[in-house]
Structure formats: structure tokens, C-alpha cells
Amino acid sequence: MKLYHGSTMIVRKPSVKRGRVTTDFGQGFYLTTSLEQAQRWALLKQRRENSKRAMVSVFDFDETMLTDISYSVLQYDGPTEDWLNFVVQNRKGENTHSYDYVMGPVANDQLYATISLYEKGALTAEAAIVQLKTHVLFNQLSCHTDKAVRSLQFVESVQIL
């Protein structure tokens, strides 16, 4: 399977230590199955960092790793209450886990308002999930161990113009 990572630089050798701790699935190296999502992320990072370029690095990933018993994997098939609580805990920096991989929907900026309302108690989990399902949700795979990132095979990096 092809996976994409949006950044302001070419990423040949991913690192789990460079990512922020307070992200959807915790500190790690994040990729998406959607080229469009990776391009959007690269452009967003370019604007935030006032960088001269936006890059998408492409990786091959053997998806059988997600069912290989030598890896610890957490996988969500869409927005669920468990996924929502996991994302909220990670974004608050309250969750530490030992998964090699976590795969599930991207809780991007479009979804953040709904997640914030849930966090504040203004929406129930059920209401938040109904709202989240009205959006196009892209998948993301996050690698949280050196063992996990070594399973990624760099293909190329492409500059977004």
C-alpha cells in the first residue's frame, strides 16, 4: 500500500521522536492513505513554518504488518466512541501507549470543533460521532516505535507547487 507524509522537507528516514506529543494518536510518525490529505498537510505546514517548499514523501508499506502478531496494533474502522476518547486523551497529552502502529480516521482541523465540543461536555459521544460521520474522513497510520518506521520503504518525495 502507498502511504503519504506531508512536510516541508524530504523525509527518507522517518523518526518517531520528531512528532508532537499532543497529536491524534500520540507522538509518532504520521502517514495517510490519501495523497490529497498529505498535500493539504504539507501546504499547511509550509504556511505555519513560513517555509519555501511543501513536500510529500511517498512510502510503500506492507499492510500485512497490521495483522502480524509481532507488532502491537490498534486499528479503528471509522469514528467510534473509543476512537474519540483515544484522540481526546492523546491531544491532551494524557495518554501513553506502547502500540507500534495506530490506524484510524484523521481528526483534522475541520473535525476539531466537534471534538472540542465533546471535550467540553457540550456534545455527547453519540452526537459527536453523528457530526463526525458527515465529513469525509481520511485514514492515517501512525508509527510509534523504531521497529514500526523501519517497515516503511521510501519511494520518492514530490514538491507541491
pLDDT in tens, 37-77: 999 999 999 999 999 999 999 999 999 999 999 999 999 98
From CA 44, how far away is CA 22, in angstroms rounded?
18
For the stretch 24-44, pLDDT in tens is: 899 999 999 999 999 999 999
Pairing of strands 101-105, 73-75: parallel
Binned at pLDDT 50, 70 and 90, residue 109 comes out as: low
Mean pLDDT to the nearest integer, 90-96: 83
Give 19 or 66, the one with higher predicted confidence. 66
Mean pLDDT to the nearest integer, 98-123: 83
From CA 11, how far away is CA 15, in angstroms rounded?
9
CA–CA–CA angle 105, 108, 114 (5° rounding): 95
Give 34 or 107, the one with higher predicted confidence. 34
User: Domains of the chain: which residue ranges?
Assistant: 2-160
- For residue 107, the model assigns a pLDDT of 67
* Cα–Cα separations (whole angstroms), residue 87 to 59, 70, 119, 140: 25, 25, 10, 13
Which amino acid is located at 47 in the chain? R
For the stretch 141-155, pLDDT in tens is: 999 999 999 999 999
- The predicted model scores a pTM of 0.88
Look at residue 98 and give its three-state secondary structure.
Answer: coil
- For residue 39, the model assigns a pLDDT of 96
- For residue 54, the model assigns a pLDDT of 97
- For residue 55, the model assigns a pLDDT of 98
Binned at pLDDT 50, 70 and 90, residue 110 comes out as: low
Look at residue 90 and give its three-state secondary structure.
Answer: helix
For 2-160, CATH number out of 1.10.287, 3.90.930, 3.90.175, 3.30.70 equals: 3.90.175
